[in-house]
Amino acid sequence: MDDSSPARPAATAAPGRRTQAERNATTRAALVEAGRRLFATRGVADVATDELARAAGVTRGALYHQYDGKTGLFAAVLESVEAEVVARVSQAMEACADPADPATRLLAGLDAYLDACADPTIHRITLVEGPAALGWQTWREVGHRHAIGLVEQSVRALAPADAPVPALAHLLMGALGEAALYVAASEDPARAREEARTAVLALVAGLS
């Protein structure tokens, strides 16, 4: 062999080639999107893992690898939807007429929350399928993990300095959940929404 021959360049990854982490993220996103669509229209119990995999364009094995089955995928869908709801509420509070006024911020957040819960997909996944598929305790923990910080922030801004903020925030979260269920169960959602809104605001007025 001629020692003067030029050395071959070291092998490099093909330009544009995705990493395993990127491929996993794409698979998870496709599964969550498919799960959100199917769970919202048919419910967790009536959707098979094969259907979920086909809808996401992946194998059944990929579903189990990423989420350990249908329940794990639903938990990821619920996390995604809860995060979306909190983002909507937070954005509404920041965009309200007077973001510096705690009462105005809270009213904007309440309206955004009720609007979100009126969305059929959000309503079914967060308020119907969540407790049924994951159990009440796990479902509650997911909701609180996403929203409790924002609710505590609102309570702290409105309540006296010596008020038990964590307890009040938990109670207000319970009231908000019941308000959404009250509206959803009504034969006159528009009227029920106004009633629920008035009731929650009356509770909040008692904080100051």
pLDDT in tens, 78-124: 999 999 999 999 999 999 999 999 999 999 999 999 999 999 999 99
Over 70: is that where the pLDDT of 187 sits? yes
Using 50, 70 and 90 to split pLDDT, how confident is the model at 55?
A: very high
Amino acid 11: pLDDT? 46
pLDDT reported for residue 18? 83
Look at residue 74 and tell me whether its pLDDT is greater than 80.
yes
Those residues with Cβ within 8 angstroms of residue 196's Cβ, 6 or more apart along the chain or in another chain: 114, 179, 180, 182, 183
Q: What confidence score (pLDDT) does residue 206 get?
A: 86
Residues 133-149, mean pLDDT to the nearest whole number: 96
pTM: 0.87
Fold of 21-205: Tetracycline Repressor; domain 2 (1.10.357)
Check the CA dihedral 117-121-125-127 and report its sign.
positive
**Is pLDDT of 13 > 90?**
no
169, pLDDT greater than 70:
yes
The domain limits of the chain are: 21-205
CA distances from 204 to 27, 64, 150, 156 (A): 43, 44, 15, 11
Q: What is the b/e burial string over 134-161, where b = at least 16 CB atoms within 10 angstroms of the residue's CB?
A: beeeebbebbeebbbebbbbbbbbbbee
pLDDT of res. 207 = 82
Q: Is the pLDDT of residue 50 over 90?
A: yes
Q: How confident is the model at residue 3 (pLDDT cuts 50, 70, 90)?
A: low
pLDDT at residue 1 in the model: 47
Asked if residue 165 has pLDDT above 90, the reply is: yes
Among the listed ranges 10-14, 85-89, 126-130, 144-148, which one has the minimum average pLDDT value? 10-14
Mean pLDDT of 132-151: 96
Mean pLDDT for the stretch of residues 172-181: 94
